[in-house]
Structure 1
C-alpha cells in the first residue's frame, strides 16, 4: 500500500471536514436543514456460547431520510440533550459543545448529501438473517476481509469486539486488543487502554468508528498515514464521515448505518468503501 503524503494529511482532518460542511462546501447550507428526530438506542448483549457481554448506547439524529449516529458511554447523555437536538438546525448541532452530538450531526448531514450507494463509491455487502452471534460473525468476516495482510502480521484492534478478534484468529493474524474499558478478551488476553502507545508494534490498524466520538481517531489516522500502514475502519458511528478520509490515512471503511445488525434478526446490509467518495 502506498502511503499518502503528509501534504495530503494536512488537507483533511475531522475539524476541516466539519468546517467545510458548515460552510456549505459539501452540499446544501446546513442552516437550512433540521433534525426531525433525535433518539438514543441502548442495548446489553451476551451472545449464546460467549462468557462475556457488553453494553452499547448510540445517539441517533435524523435529517430527512438519513440517520447519523455516534456511540457514547452508557448513561453519558442526559435526556435533555436528546430533546434539545430534536428540531434543531444542523448548523447549530455541528457547533454543539458535546462531541457526540457534533459527530452524529455531521454523520446525518453527510449521509443526507451522499447516501451509501454505488454511485457514491459504496459496495453493498449482505448480512444474512440469523441470530445475533451469527450476524456479528458475518459482519466480522466482512470487516477483517478488508485487511490486506499475510498470516503472522499483527493488527491493532481498537474497540474490542470478540467476533472481530475471532475472525483475525481465523486469518492467522496476531492482534493487540485495545479498548478504554480494559479488561480481558474472550480468550483471557489483556486489553490495553492506550492505542497510540501500542500502534508502533502493529503492521495495520483495525479501528472502531467510536474513536470519532472519544477524540482518538485523529492521532491514529496520522500514525497510519505517516507510517504507511493500513487503517481499516468499522463504522456504526460516523458511517458517512469516515469514507471522507479514504486517501487521507484511511485505507478502507465498512460502513453500517442505522439500523445496526444487532437490532433485527432479518437480513441487513453493510457498505464497503475502498476508494474515495464520489
Structure 2
C-alpha cells in the first residue's frame, strides 16, 4: 500500500498541472460515472493529501476523494491521451497533462462539509504544515497497545505504512512491542522529528530512503530499484548494524520486521 509521501507527491503533480484550469473528468470503467459528471469541466482549485487520502477540490465546493488502497495507482500521459487501457476508474484531462486512475479502494465525490468526517478520524500527518504531534502523543501515552501497532493506526498518525513503521522503530532503537504507555515524551519527540525528516526525503525523491550512508552496504535492497532498508523485508538476514538475525512476525495482520538486539525491550 502506498505510504503518505506518495499521496503528497501525487498532490503536488496534480496541483502543478490542473490547478486554476477546467479539467475534463470521466470514468471509462463506468463505476465513477455519476461522480465524474458532477465535476467534469469544473475549475480545479487545488490538490492536497492527508495521510493516505488524496483530495481534489473544485470551484463548485465538491471534492473528489481518492484512497489508493493496496492496488490503486495513477498513470500519467501527454495530451492527446490514447484509448483507456484496463479498468480506468477516473480519467482526468487538462490542457497539457492527463492521468488515469486504476484500482483505488475509494474514488468518490464529497461536499467540503463531509471532509470534516475524514479529518476527524485521522491523526496528524507529518507532511502537512502545522501538524500537531501532541494529538498523536495523547493517544500513544494512554494506550497499552504496542507502539508497532499504534504507528500503523491512521487515527494516531496519518500516512505511516509498514516500511516507515519498521524503519523508524529501528532507527530509534525501539522494540515494536513496547506499549504506548512506556514511550516517554522525549522519545516521542525524537521519533516524530525523525519521521518528518524521513517522509520529506520520500516526498522529494519519490522513494523511501532510511539507511545512513555508513550502513548502506551488504545485502541488496528487498526489491529491484528500491533503496536498502535496515529491517523491512530482511527477515533472516544479518542486521546491518549489529549482525543479529532480523526477525519477522505478524502484528494485527501486518508483517513486522525488527532486530532483537538493536531493538531489545
Per the normalisation by structure 2, the TM-score is 0.30
For the pair shown, the structure with the greater C-alpha radius of gyration is: 2
Q: Could you state the TM-score of these two structures normalised by the residue count of structure 1?
A: 0.29
Asked which structure has the greater RCO (Cα within 8 Å, sep 6+), the reply is 1
Q: Which has the higher helix share?
A: 1
